[in-house]
Amino acid sequence: MSAPLYEVEHLTRVYGRGERRVVALDDVGLTVARGQRLGIVGESGSGKSTLIRLMAALDRPTAGTVRFAGQQVSGTPERALGFLRARVQLVFQDPRASLDPRMRIGTIIAEPLRAPAIQGELARRGVPVDRSAREARVADLLAAVGLPADAAGRFPHEFSGGQRQRVAIARALAPGPEVLMADEAVSALDVSVRAQVLNLLMDLVASLGLTLVFISHDLSVIRHVCTDAIVLQGGRIVEAGPTASVFAQPQHPYTAGLLAAVPRFGARPWDD
């Protein structure tokens, strides 16, 4: 069996001190295999976003370690994280907030390719990042996410929420990552377009052979998208396993409570 892509051990993150001390994550451990689609579920404040921020080296843990492809992530200086920045990309919840309104779409999508750390990693792979290569990459990505070629010259406000999230996905795919992390990537969208964006994301993950780490408070989304799931409560993992098993036979009362709270519109798939 190949080594895990991600290895997280005893991960703890504490914010503040004294009476204002908040334990966002408490001794969390997990592994992510290549090609896995891992869902992270829990209520607001359970530690979901903190966990992927630490895995993506956007924050530093109070204790514990994160390794990616055998290389230490936690505690590594930013200048030495090029191996991670090119291979792990994120899609955030609200595309209105995550896309710079002053930048044209083509510039937004190509933005990761201008980052020095990513350029260095791509150069080691022999991937060209000159202007013509960036423009060609943008055109390919616009087509991949179902947007017209002329979108490159337009601004974010000219698009709907679902279209802006397609732009955010294209930007995340620009450097050719191995891992895509999605933090509530469809929760800010209208119900009518959520399924479209989810299906696009799943198609891209499958066609590009990506590993997916997907955060959602929506259990139906996790069941639809992910092969495996972990349940966070109060910064700790209370349940983990194949998604079908977690949904069909929850072992922890918190998981059972989350499932029971899902609105019933006819029979739910995991009630069979």
Cα separation, 190 vs 160, in Å, equals 10
User: At which residue do the structure tokens 């907030």 appear?
Assistant: 97
- Each residue's pLDDT tens digit, 13-58: 999 988 889 999 999 999 999 999 999 999 888 999 999 999 999 9
For the cut 80, the answer to whether the pLDDT of residue 119 exceeds it is yes
DSSP E strands: which ranges in 69-209? 71-72, 88-91, 179-183
- Of 58, 94, 52, 95, the closest CA to residue 76 belongs to 58
Mean pLDDT along residues 191-215: 93
Cα separation, 227 vs 224, in Å, equals 9
pLDDT of residue 265: 47
Cα separation, 208 vs 172, in Å, equals 13
Q: How much of the chain exceeds pLDDT 70, in percent?
A: 96
For the cut 50, the answer to whether the pLDDT of residue 154 exceeds it is yes
Is there a domain that residue 35 lies in?
A: no
Specify whether the CB–CB gap between 4 and 31 falls below 8 A: yes
Length of the chain: 272
Q: What is the mean pLDDT of the chain?
A: 91
Is there a domain that residue 226 lies in?
A: no
Task: For residue 163, give the CATH number of its domain.
Answer: 3.40.50.300
Domain count, the chain: 1
Mean pLDDT along residues 147-162: 95
Is there a domain that residue 154 lies in?
A: yes
- Contacts of residue 157, defined as CB under 8 A and 6 or more positions apart, other chains included, come to 101
**Count of CB atoms situated within 10 Å of the CB of 207:** 9
For the cut 70, the answer to whether the pLDDT of residue 267 exceeds it is no
- Each residue's pLDDT tens digit, 229-245: 999 999 999 999 999 99
pLDDT of residue 51: 96
More confident position, 104 or 262: 104
Residue-range definition of the domain harbouring residue 111: 94-176
Is there a domain that residue 167 lies in?
A: yes
Is there a domain that residue 244 lies in?
A: no
Specify whether the CB–CB gap between 40 and 54 falls below 8 A: no
pLDDT of residue 24: 96
Is there a domain that residue 129 lies in?
A: yes
Is there a domain that residue 39 lies in?
A: no
Mean pLDDT along residues 80-93: 91
Is there a domain that residue 155 lies in?
A: yes
